[in-house]
């Protein structure tokens, strides 16, 4: 009896100690949050090649499975019958997958980048003409209004003197700004080098992950079954498969959908001889990956660019984009994505705003599938608990009660 009481008090003391320790750690986290975030940022930067490698492997896995199952295993069937453990189909599939993706990206960039650069250069070349036109319009407006002309004429000398004085005071700031710009250029160059390094290392790591993906999955299951009961592990694996279905289906489907929309936009704009067709198509394709708000975010700057060129072309562009987005929203999108998220419209908007506010563009893209996973898991948990309490799980049953 005394032994049972001692075990009980030891357990209570251990729980109390863990609660106090956790509270102290949480307080230190709040007091030193800047240091914690700096350390986390450093760790994240160090692990970036591994993170990219896992992301590349995840995105390339459907292509790998296609080549391995549909092509090389059928072509090498006789060899596999003699040696079932042969890894030749996997090696060939990884090689073809990586080469195919790199060649497609290289070809796409070699086509897009020159035209994109030409479109941007042409736009900047026309900016002085836009400014000159604005100046002429302002001069004509002032000349046609005596009161406005008199008012500006009296204050013109004062404005010039103020501008000269401001320029003299701003000279040190300008010199400092030039130094900051120089530092920014150097930092950007270093960032580009690090980005290329992380990309190359990410590709190499993704090859290792794809080659041994079954072994990594088996090791993960082994650890889970060692740490948790069979019931809890089975639930974790079910939720992992559901997460993969929601998250992977949405991301890969949305990327494919945006690529198709970008191509369709370019073809239509090229047919109607719209200026800056490549630049506009890239903007529309990239922003289309953002659910709900993406078409609006992409269409506004494109319409402003065309408005300076020709207001009628800007109007035509808006009509074209509305038609394309109706096609995407009602036909193409549902065909590719289906109901991959299962989120109501309100929670889609909530996830986009929250993700965008916290993590910017990447948060707007990944906020919806991430929140969809959380929504699905919470929905399943609530329904299971209601079932145990013999309560209905249908929401309609609670209306008016």
Q: How far, in Å, CA of 275 to CA of 271, rounded?
A: 11
Q: How far, in Å, CA of 364 to CA of 367, rounded?
A: 5
Q: How far, in Å, CA of 386 to CA of 301, rounded?
A: 49
Q: Which two tokens stand for residue 330?
A: 């009602």
pLDDT of residue 72: 80
Cα within 13 Å of Cα(357), Cβ side: 6
Asked whether 339 and 324 are in contact (CB, 8 A), the reply is: no
- CB neighbour burial string for 220-235, b if at least 16 within 10 angstroms, e if fewer: eeeebeeeeeeeebee
Q: How far, in Å, CA of 58 to CA of 237, rounded?
A: 17
Place of tokens 């060649």: 103
Torsion of CA 211, 213, 215, 216, to 10 degrees: 130
With a CB cutoff of 8 Å and minimum separation 6, the contacts of 194 are none
Q: How far, in Å, CA of 264 to CA of 270, rounded?
A: 10
Q: Which two tokens stand for residue 157?
A: 């000398």
Distances (CA, A) of 96 to 63, 72, 85, 90, 248: 9, 10, 20, 10, 22
pLDDT of residue 288: 86
Cα within 13 Å of Cα(14), Cβ side: 6
pLDDT of residue 275: 83
259 C-beta neighbours (distance < 10 Å), count: 14
DSSP percent split of the chain into helix, strand, coil, nearest 5: 90, 0, 10
pLDDT of residue 304: 81
What pLDDT tens digit does each residue of the chain (401 aa) get? Answer: 545 556 666 767 777 777 888 888 777 777 777 777 777 778 888 888 898 888 889 888 888 888 888 888 877 777 766 776 678 888 888 999 989 888 888 877 777 777 667 666 766 676 676 666 666 666 666 666 656 556 555 555 555 556 556 556 655 665 565 555 555 555 555 667 788 888 889 999 999 999 988 898 899 999 988 988 888 888 888 888 888 888 877 888 888 888 888 889 989 988 988 888 888 888 888 888 887 777 888 888 888 878 777 788 888 999 999 998 888 877 777 777 665 666 777 777 788 788 877 777 777 778 888 888 888 888 888 888 888 888 887 777 777 65
Place of tokens 């650890």: 223
pLDDT of residue 136: 67
> What DSSP assignment string belongs to 276-304?
THHHHHHHHHHHTTSTTTHHHHHHHHHHH
Q: H or E segment at 130?
A: helix 88-143
Q: How far, in Å, CA of 329 to CA of 26, rounded?
A: 45
Q: How far, in Å, CA of 11 to CA of 382, rounded?
A: 31
Asked whether 23 and 175 are in contact (CB, 8 A), the reply is: no
Q: Which two tokens stand for residue 187?
A: 């930092």
Place of tokens 């002309």: 149
Q: Give Cα 352 distance to the centre of its chain.
A: 11
pLDDT of residue 133: 66
Q: Which two tokens stand for residue 287?
A: 């922003």
Q: How far, in Å, CA of 258 to CA of 286, rounded?
A: 7
pLDDT of residue 191: 66
């Amino acid at each position: 009896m005394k032994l049972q009481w001692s075990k009980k008090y030891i357990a209570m003391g251990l729980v109390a100690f863990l609660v106090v320790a956790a509270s102290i750690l949480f307080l230190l986290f709040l007091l030193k949050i800047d240091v914690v975030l700096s350390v986390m940022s450093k760790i994240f930067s160090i692990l970036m090649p591994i993170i990219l490698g896992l992301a590349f492997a995840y995105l390339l896995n459907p292509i790998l499975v296609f080549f391995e199952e549909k092509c090389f295993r059928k072509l090498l069937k006789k060899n596999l019958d003699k040696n079932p453990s042969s890894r030749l189909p996997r090696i060939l599939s990884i090689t073809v997958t990586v080469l195919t993706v790199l060649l497609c990206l290289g070809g796409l960039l070699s086509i897009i980048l020159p035209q994109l650069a030409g479109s941007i250069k042409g736009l900047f070349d026309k900016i002085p003409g836009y400014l000159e036109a604005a100046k002429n319009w302002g001069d004509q407006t002032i000349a046609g209004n005596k009161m406005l002309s008199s008012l500006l004429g009296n204050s013109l000398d004062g404005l010039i003197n103020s501008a000269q004085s401001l320029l003299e005071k701003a000279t040190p700031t300008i010199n400092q700004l030039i130094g900051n710009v120089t530092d920014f250029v150097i930092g950007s160059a270093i960032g580009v080098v690090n980005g290329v390094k992380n990309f190359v290392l990410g590709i190499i790591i993704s090859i290792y992950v794809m080659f041994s993906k079954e072994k990594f999955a088996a090791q993960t299951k082994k650890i889970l079954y060692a740490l948790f009961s069979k019931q809890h592990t089975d639930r974790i694996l079910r939720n992992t498969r559901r997460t993969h279905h929601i998250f992977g289906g949405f991301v890969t489907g949305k990327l494919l959908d945006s690529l198709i929309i970008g191509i369709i936009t370019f073809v239509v704009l090229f047919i109607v001889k719209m200026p800056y067709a490549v630049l506009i198509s890239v903007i529309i394709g990239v922003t289309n990956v953002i659910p709900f708000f993406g078409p609006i975010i992409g269409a506004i700057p494109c319409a402003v660019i065309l408005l300076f060129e020709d207001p009628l072309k800007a109007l035509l562009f808006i009509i074209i984009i509305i038609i394309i987005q109706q096609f995407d929203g009602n036909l193409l999108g549902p065909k590719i994505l289906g109901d991959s998220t299962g989120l109501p419209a309100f929670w889609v908007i909530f996830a986009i705003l929250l993700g965008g506010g916290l993590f910017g563009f990447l948060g707007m893209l990944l906020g919806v599938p991430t929140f969809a996973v959380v929504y699905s898991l919470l929905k399943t948990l609530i329904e299971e608990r209601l079932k145990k309490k013999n309560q209905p799980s249908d929401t309609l049953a609670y209306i008016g009660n």
